Structure 1
Amino acid sequence: MGKVTVIGSINMDLVVSTTHMPGQGETVLGKEFITYPGGKGANQAVAAARTGAEVTMIGAVGRDAFGEKMMENLHKEGIDTKHVALVPEQSTGTATIILSDGDNRIIVAPGANHELSKEMVAQKKEEIETSDVVLMQLEIPIEVVEEVTVIAAEAGVPVILNPAPYRNLSENIRNRVSVLTPNESEYNQMHSSLTGEEEIVITRGEEGVEHKGEMIGGYSVDVVDTTGAGDTFNGVLAARIAEGEKVKEAIVVANAASALSVTMKGAQSGMPFREEVEAFLEDNKDPGS
């Protein structure tokens, strides 16, 4: 079992499904409304925990009903939450998600997530230094990301950074990150700033994953909800690398977990457990079949 420390966002997902995605100024009727625990950080923490990692979460929630619910959910998943700050003056982050025909559109209100500061994570230095892998995203302040990469680099701890939602990354951050995991759109935005020395894992949806110029094929599944597929991939990737697997080996497992995740509704509720992923891999030895 590897130790993964996830530093990132914790949100409540407010999900409405509809048969028609509204255009500018248009009102449409939805089919159903559901709330799910979410946030890229929390999602990736759950994915890592379900695949067998020892997971610690560093983040922030508001002192409100959503915050209480999010903390309960993380506990239920076996995630260590002693480093999650409770912020009285801010609401817990939310993501409003519209689902239609297997696609989604998302608006994120960061709330307490943006109260996470470099000073706060500096106080968690020992937790970061004793990790096998640190996993981050960009729904938290960029100065927090930079501070964590400094601490991790000094301790020789590998950092996986999922650059989503996309923001420009300083050369210092890129140089300290062990693995960058953009999707196709994010990679296109950052491509011109890359030096060619970064280790990059590009998720390309149904096509699969590109790593060092090689495509690792995807899996053909019945898509129900794509929300959280990328987070599933990143959490499982981090967990497998923390166990000592090479990046390519970890990609194969993470790819399978991501495929399974889209067959169910909800970002976290659709995330598979380790035994489910292993059974899926056994039944689908030829990706894309």
Structure 2
Amino acid sequence: MAHVVVVGSINMDLVTLAPRFPEPGETILGDRFLTVHGGKGANQAVAAARLGAEVTLVGAVGDDAFGEQLREGLAHENVRLDHVASIANCSSGTASITVAEGDNHIVVVPGANARVTPAQIERAQAALASADAILVQMEIPLESVEATLRLGQRVGKPVILNPAPAQPLPLEWLKLARYLTPNQHELAILLAADASEDFRSLMDRSPAPLVLTRGSDGAWFRENGEPLHQSGFKVDVVDTTGAGDTFNAALAVFLHEGLAVAVRKACAAAALSVTRLGAQGGMPTRAELEAFLATRAPLL
């Protein structure tokens, strides 16, 4: 069983389905309201746990009702919460999402996610040192992202940096990552480049080994030499929410089997995740992934 440590955000998504978006100052009646557990850190932790890993999450929730619900949900998924802080007099992270007319409007309030500190990362050193892989994203303070990268290097463990939501980072930080896992748009932002530039050219400029996700086209990856391509898996798409988080989690879980195998399994897990509604709701179990791969041609 792989041990994966995820450092990242924990949110409660407040989702309203409506027939249309209200005009400024207008009140309308919605069709449905849902509370959905989310946040990229929590999503990746749940996905990794369902794929059979021992998972430790490093993050924070508030001391509100959402914080309690989020902790209960993660515990139910067998995610270890020893390093999830409950911040007094602070709200849990939320994303208020209105879905209408085939689009969405989202307001994110980081809440306790903004209180994840480098000191908290240091206190989790023993967990990171025992990990087979470490996952970190960018919905927590950048100083804590840097602290995770540096601690991972110090304890000799591979850190996968999922640079989302993307923003430019110092090249020195990027070089600390064992793998970067952007899509083309995110990679262009990281490199301060034109997003219309050919993705192979962007890959050539990456300061760290890269696993580039390309939706239904699968992924391109390279450690040395020319980039290699893993094709996507053809499925009936229901909801793409959470596919990237599932991909990153699977990459971390199976990294010990070799990068090519891990990328193939990550593409397959991401494909499975889009066949059901919801981010965490669509994340497959290890048994589901193995059954899916058993019907597919072996990696060449």
Q: Which TM-score applies when normalising by structure 1? A: 0.90
What is the aligned partner in structure 2 of residue 200 from structure 1?
210
Which of 217, 233, 242 lines up with 2:231 in the alignment?
217
Q: What one-letter code is carried by the residue in structure 1 that aligns with 2:247?
A: F
Tell whether the 8 Å contact from 1:10 to 1:38 is kept in structure 2 after alignment.
yes
Does residue 283 in structure 1 map to residue 295 in structure 2? yes
Residue 200 to residue 23, structure 1, CA distance change in 2 (3 Å): farther
Tell whether the 8 Å contact from 1:63 to 1:86 is kept in structure 2 after alignment.
yes
Tell whether the 8 Å contact from 2:168 to 2:191 is kept in structure 1 after alignment.
no
Structure 2 residue runs of 5 or longer lacking an equivalent are 194-201
Tell whether the 8 Å contact from 1:60 to 1:113 is kept in structure 2 after alignment.
yes
Which string of whole-angstrom CA distances, capped at 9 and with x for unpartnered residues, describes residues 160-210 of structure 1?
010000122112211110000012210122235784441111111112112
What is the aligned partner in structure 2 of residue 257 from structure 1?
269
For CA contacts below 8 A with separation 6 or more, give which structure has more relative contact order.
Answer: 1
What is the aligned partner in structure 2 of residue 156 from structure 1?
156
How far 1:285 moved relative to its partner?
3.0
Higher Rg: 2
How far 1:11 moved relative to its partner?
0.4
How far 1:27 moved relative to its partner?
8.0
Give, in whole Å, the separation in 1 of the partners of 2:253 and 2:119.
Answer: 27
Q: What one-letter code is carried by the residue in structure 1 that aligns with 2:260?
A: K
What is the aligned partner in structure 2 of residue 80 from structure 1?
80
Q: What one-letter code is carried by the residue in structure 2 that aligns with 1:145?
A: V
Give, in whole Å, the separation in 1 of the partners of 2:77 and 2:39.
Answer: 15
What is the aligned partner in structure 1 of residue 246 from structure 2?
232
Q: What one-letter code is carried by the residue in structure 2 that aligns with 1:232?
A: T
Give, in whole Å, the separation in 1 of the partners of 2:216 and 2:105.
Answer: 18
Residue 27 to residue 219, structure 1, CA distance change in 2 (3 Å): farther
CA RMSD of aligned residues (A): 2.3
Give, in whole Å, the separation in 2 of the partners of 1:223 and 1:101.
Answer: 19
What is the aligned partner in structure 2 of residue 139 from structure 1?
139
Tell whether the 8 Å contact from 1:2 to 1:53 is kept in structure 2 after alignment.
yes
Which string of whole-angstrom CA distances, capped at 9 and with x for unpartnered residues, describes residues 101-131 of structure 1?
8875543211100011111211211211121
How far 1:252 moved relative to its partner?
0.7
Q: Secondary structure at the match of 1:269?
A: helix
Q: What one-letter code is carried by the residue in structure 2 that aligns with 1:207?
A: D
Alignment of 1:36-51 (within 5 A): 36-51=36-51
Q: Which TM-score applies when normalising by structure 2? A: 0.87
Give, in whole Å, the separation in 2 of the partners of 1:205 and 1:29.
Answer: 35
Give, in whole Å, the separation in 2 of the partners of 1:216 and 1:18.
Answer: 38
Q: Secondary structure at the match of 1:84?
A: strand
Residue 31 to residue 82, structure 1, CA distance change in 2 (3 Å): same
Moved more, 95-104 or 106-115: 95-104
Give, in whole Å, the separation in 1 of the partners of 2:212 and 2:13.
Answer: 25
Give, in whole Å, the separation in 2 of the partners of 1:225 and 1:207.
Answer: 17
Q: Secondary structure at the match of 1:131?
A: coil
How far 1:19 moved relative to its partner?
6.3
Moved more, 179-188 or 97-106: 97-106
Q: What one-letter code is carried by the residue in structure 1 that aligns with 2:265?
A: V
What is the aligned partner in structure 2 of residue 114 from structure 1?
114
Structure 1 residue runs of 5 or longer lacking an equivalent are none
Tell whether the 8 Å contact from 2:15 to 2:96 is kept in structure 1 after alignment.
yes
What is the aligned partner in structure 1 of residue 94 from structure 2?
94
Give, in whole Å, the separation in 2 of the partners of 1:24 and 1:58.
Answer: 40
Q: What one-letter code is carried by the residue in structure 2 that aligns with 1:276?
A: E
Size of the aligned set, in residue pairs, is: 284
Could you tell me the percent identity over the aligned residues? 47
Tell whether the 8 Å contact from 1:95 to 1:108 is kept in structure 2 after alignment.
yes
